[in-house]
Structure 1
Amino acid sequence: MKKTISREALKSASLEYNDVSGDFNWIKKRRGPIKVGQKAGSINHAGYVVIKIDQMKFMAHVLVWFLKTGEWPTLDIDHINGIKTDNRFQNLRHVTRSVNLQNQRKAHPNNHTGLIGVNKKGPKRFLALIQIDGIQKSVGTFENAIDAHNAYIEAKRKGHPGNTL
C-alpha cells in the first residue's frame, strides 16, 4: 500500500511550496536545528528530494503533484528535464512507468562506452541498439561512438514518443 497524506495534513505541516524554485520551505519553527525559511527535505540515495512529515518520508515531486492537482498520483511523476531535484510543477508530468523509463539519460555503469544505447563491437566499431515494445533492435554499426549515440538518440525520438531527450 502506498503511503499518502491528506491535503489538510500537508497544508498544516509547516511547509510552503515555492512555485518559482520548486522547493518546499519551512514556515514555522520545528524541533531540532530547522529554521523558518530553510529549504525542507534532503536528497536520497537516488538523487530525489525527500521530506519527512508526521514520521513518514515523501518524495517532494509527489507532494507537489498532490498539492497542485488535489489528486494522489496513480502513475509515476516524471521530471521532464531529467533533473531529479527540479520540482517546479511545470517540470512534472504524470506518466506510465514505461514512459518514465524512456527518459534514461546516463549509460549503465557497466557500459564501457559511457554513452547510452552504444556498445563497443570491435576495435573501431560501435553498435547502436534500442528496445522498442520489448524488442531489441539494431540501429546500426558505426566507426565512432558519437555517431552511434546520435543515431540511437534519433531512433529513440522516433520510437519512444514520450521521451524528453
Structure 2
Amino acid sequence: MSEFLSVEMLKSLLVYNPATGVFYWIQPKVLQKLRPDGRAGSLGRNGYEYIRVNGKLYLSHRLAILYMTGSRPEADVDHINGDTSDNRWVNLRGATRQQNLWNSSPRAKKIVRQKGVWRYKQGYRASIYVDGRSRHLGVYSSAEEAHAAYAAAAVRLRGEFART
C-alpha cells in the first residue's frame, strides 16, 4: 500500500462505527448491488476484512486507525483479542511487527496445540522467541508443564502483548 487514502477522502466516502468496528458507505444507494445495508467491506480468506475504495483494496483495521486518529498507521495494527475480523476501536492498538506476532495464536498444524511447546524426544520442550532468537526454557514431562513455563516467560518478557 504505497499510496494510502487521505483521511478527508475516507471520511467523505465512509462512516466508521467505533463501537461495532463496521464501516458504512455514506451513499449506499450507489453501491446497493454490493450490500443493501450499506455496509462496506468483505471478509477475506485470511480472516481480515477489506474495503475497496477507488479500485484499491485496504485493510479495514488500518482504515479504522486512519479514521479515528487522522494519520496513517506507521507500523502494524494488532487485534488485542486475536480476532482479525473484530475491528472495534477498543480491540485495535499500534504494535511493532514483533509485538503483533507475540499476540498471535498457536499454529494449527502443530502436533502440540499449545503456544511455545513442542514435542521433544522423551518429553515436551518449552521455548520462546526473544530478539529474533529462540530461548530454551526447559524440557518437561507434560505439555501442560512446558506451557506453564512458556506462559510465565511470555508474561515476563512481552507484557500486554503476551498471548498464552
- The answer to whether TM tops 0.5 is yes
- TM-score computed with the length of structure 2 as normaliser: 0.88
The offset of 1:72, in angstroms, is: 0.6
Aligned to 2:71: 71
Unaligned runs of 5+ in 2: none
Q: TM-score, structure 1 length as denominator? A: 0.88
Which residue of the partner structure matches residue 58 of structure 1? 58
8 Å contact kept, 1:99–1:162: no
Q: Which moved more, 1:3-12 or 1:78-87?
A: 3-12
* Contact 2:50-2:60 at 8 Å conserved across structures: yes
**Taking structure 1 as reference, are residues 35 and 100 closer, same or farther at Cα in structure 2, changes over 3 Å only?**
closer
Name the counterpart of 2:139: 141
Query: What displacement does 1:117 show?
Result: 0.9
Per-residue CA deviation, residues 105-130 of structure 1 (Å, 9 max, x unaligned), is 12252x2212221111135x111111
Partner of 2:25: 26
Cα RMSD after superposing both structures: 1.8
Distance across 2 between alignment mates of 1:38 and 1:77: 25
The alpha carbon displacement at 1:34 in A equals 2.6
**Which residue number in structure 2 is paired with residue 157 of structure 1?**
155
* Residues 26 and 37 in structure 1, CA contact (< 8 A), matched pair in contact too: no
What amino acid is aligned across from residue 79 of structure 2 in structure 1?
Answer: H
In structure 1, the gaps of 5 or more residues are none
State whether residues 108 and 116 of structure 1, in contact with CA within 8 Å, keep that contact through their aligned partners in structure 2: no
The one-letter code sitting in structure 2 at the alignment partner of 1:144 is S
Whole-Å separation in 2 of the counterparts to 1:150 and 1:29: 54
Higher helix share: 2
- Hey, what does 2:121 align to over in structure 1? 122
Instruction: Please name the residue that 1:102 is paired with.
Output: 102
| Equivalence for 1:49 | 49
